[in-house]
Amino acid sequence: MNAKVADRIATAVIVAVTGLIVLILIGLLGFILVRGIGHISWHFLTSVPQSFKAGGGIGPQLFNSVFLLVLTLIITVPLGVGAGIYMAEYAKPGKFTNFIRLVVEVLSSFPSIVVGLFGLLVIVNYFNLGFSLLSGALALTVFNLPLMVRITEQALRGVPNEQKEASLALGLSRWKTITSVMMPIAIPNILTGTILASGRVFGEAAALLFTAGMSSPRLDFTDWNPLSPFSPLNPMRPAETLAVHIWKINSEGRAPDAAEIAAGASAVLIIVVLLFNLTARWLGRRIHRKLTASK
């Protein structure tokens, strides 16, 4: 067999495998969306769920997912960006730095159920935070922090050395060089990674079963006092998220229309995660074009 024939066979195999993966993805998304999109309405998105009656919605669960996402990002982004800056610019090559990278890689490969059990034992029980939004956000921080560290480190290492060296040669300190020269260039990649991580957080369920809980108090959306037990902004209340709600309905749903609610909630979750991914790509390209045009 000559080289040209082997190349054509290899190309055909790669194209066929790629096409098969795309078809599986389209079939999966199409099945979920076609099955559930007809159940989505304003009432469905805003009303409370029903345990035994038909006609329930996902309003509190949708709000809990968004609120949990905001809490997680408030904790994860500063820690992840700070650790990424340290790994890229301050950490000296050696055994200690290699050990930190190994820990980050191990954390990134942890199953989410293990993170959930860790959150249950340490955050919920040992620190006595209970089943709450804060416990869920801390567990998701453990789950998502390695991704933010890697994204930030790679984004800073992608900055051309000439710009960094020119800034240092002009007398700027290392920290000033990082904040004024390197970060503006790295921000598009960091922002894109943050949005992709947000989609990952929004769809997480296993880690939240043991930390945020599988129930929500009846929320009073006229009470915005974070210390009130029925306030939607109280971070210490238990909170069932949309992904956990889907699992709960499919496993123990007793409402007559449980299958329809699960299908509609699944479609909403898929649409939101797709929007996160598309927004990340669109925003990354837009910022990259603006930076390229400004040069």
In the predicted model, is pLDDT for residue 294 greater than 80? no
Q: Which tokens belong to 169?
A: 């040669």
Grade residue 136 by pLDDT with cuts at 50, 70 and 90: very high
* pLDDT at residue number 194: 84
In the predicted model, is pLDDT for residue 135 greater than 90? yes
* pLDDT at residue number 1: 61
Residue linked to tokens 């060089």: 177
Decide: helix, strand or coil at residue 88. Answer: helix
In the predicted model, is pLDDT for residue 7 greater than 80? yes
* pLDDT at residue number 122: 92
* pLDDT at residue number 292: 61
In the predicted model, is pLDDT for residue 295 greater than 60? no
Specify whether the CB–CB gap between 88 and 164 falls below 8 A.
Answer: no
Residues 60-69, mean pLDDT to the nearest whole number: 91
* pLDDT at residue number 205: 86
Weakest mean pLDDT among 20-29, 82-91, 99-108: 99-108
pLDDT by residue (tens digit) across 233-244? 899 999 899 999
| Sign of the alpha-carbon torsion through 188, 194, 197, 199 | negative
| pLDDT, averaged across the chain | 85
Residues 150-172, mean pLDDT to the nearest whole number: 86
- CATH number attached to the domain at 43-294: 1.10.3720.10
Grade residue 251 by pLDDT with cuts at 50, 70 and 90: confident
* pLDDT at residue number 288: 66
End-to-end CA distance of the chain: 50
In the predicted model, is pLDDT for residue 213 greater than 90? no
Q: Which tokens belong to 133?
A: 């939004």
In the predicted model, is pLDDT for residue 175 greater than 60? yes
